[in-house]
Amino acid sequence: MGRSIRRFRSLLILGAAALALAALAGCFLRGGAPAGALTYKGPAEISLKPGETLTGTDIVYVGLSDSMAEFTIEGQRALKKAGDSLDWKGEPVEGVKLDLGLRLLLLTDQTVHTGGTVDIEVANAEPVAQPVESESPIKFGVPVTYGIDRGEMIPGTLISYEERDEDRGAKLGGIEDYAYRKTGDSIVWEGKLRGNVWLRLDVRVLFYNETSLRVGGIATLWLEK
C-alpha cells in the first residue's frame, strides 16, 4: 500500500512538472498566427473513461490491458504506459487547427488521466456578439492574458479599451451595459469567432493606465462539426 501511494504521488509530481514546463515553453515558443487568425495555447488536463474519444480527435481509449492503457489510434491498437506521449494534430472542424501534446499521468481501472498542452488556431476570425448556444462536446478552456492599447479591441471580441477615468476606472467600448471597470473587475464576452466556433471569454482587469489595459482569465471555445 505504501509503495502504491508513493508511486501515485510521484506520478502527480511528474505530471505537475510536465504541465508547468509545457506552459512555460508555450510562452516562449508561440509563433505569430496568420493574418485574421486567433490562437489559444496553454496547459491541458484531459481524463478518459473506457470507450471515450479524446476531445477533437479520432483517438479512442479502450481500457486497461495488462496494466497498460489501450488506445485505438488511426485504427490501430496502441498500448501505452504512464509517462508515454499521446499526441494529435489536425483539423477537427473546418478552419480550426488543433495540436494536442499530452502525456499519460495516471492509469486506474476507471480512468486514464493525461496532461500537457493544447494549441488551437482559428482561421479568418470575425467576432460576432451573441450568447453561446453550443453543446458541442469538442470544448476547450485555455488561460489567456492580453495587453490592449487604447483604441484597440480585446482579441476575439468587440470590446475595446477607450480611456482611463480617474474615478470610475477603465472605460470599455463595444458593450451595452455599464462601461467602466476597476482593477480586479470582471469582463465577460460571448459570441462566435466564425460559423462553427463559439467563444466565451471570462477575464478580469489586471492593470490599466492612460495608454493601455491588461486583462487575464479563461477563454472557453466550442468547436462544431
Task: Give the chain's end-to-end CA distance (angstroms, integer).
Answer: 46
Q: State pLDDT tens for residues 81-105.
A: 999 999 999 999 999 999 999 999 9
Model pLDDT, residue 32: 56
Compare 72 and 36 and report the one with higher pLDDT: 72
Contact partners, residue 147, CB within 8 Å, separation at least 6: 212, 213, 214
What is the rounded distance in angstroms from the CA atom of residue 63 to the CA atom of residue 59?
12
- Contact (Cβ atoms closer than 8 angstroms) between residue 167 and residue 180: no
Compare 6 and 61 and report the one with higher pLDDT: 61
Model pLDDT, residue 161: 98
Query: Is the pLDDT confidence value at 1 over 50?
Result: no
Average pLDDT of the chain, as a whole number: 89
Mean pLDDT of 159-185: 97
Q: State pLDDT tens for residues 17-60.
A: 444 444 433 433 334 567 789 999 999 999 999 999 999 999 99
Query: Is the pLDDT confidence value at 79 over 50?
Result: yes
Compare 202 and 21 and report the one with higher pLDDT: 202
Of the candidate ranges 30-39, 173-182, 216-225, the one whose mean pLDDT is the lowest: 30-39
Model pLDDT, residue 6: 45
With a pLDDT cut of 70, the percent of the chain lying above it is: 85
Note the pTM of the prediction, 2 decimals: 0.84
Query: Is the pLDDT confidence value at 140 over 60?
Result: yes
Contact partners, residue 167, CB within 8 Å, separation at least 6: none
Model pLDDT, residue 8: 44
Residue 143, CA atoms < 13 Å, CB-side half-sphere: 10
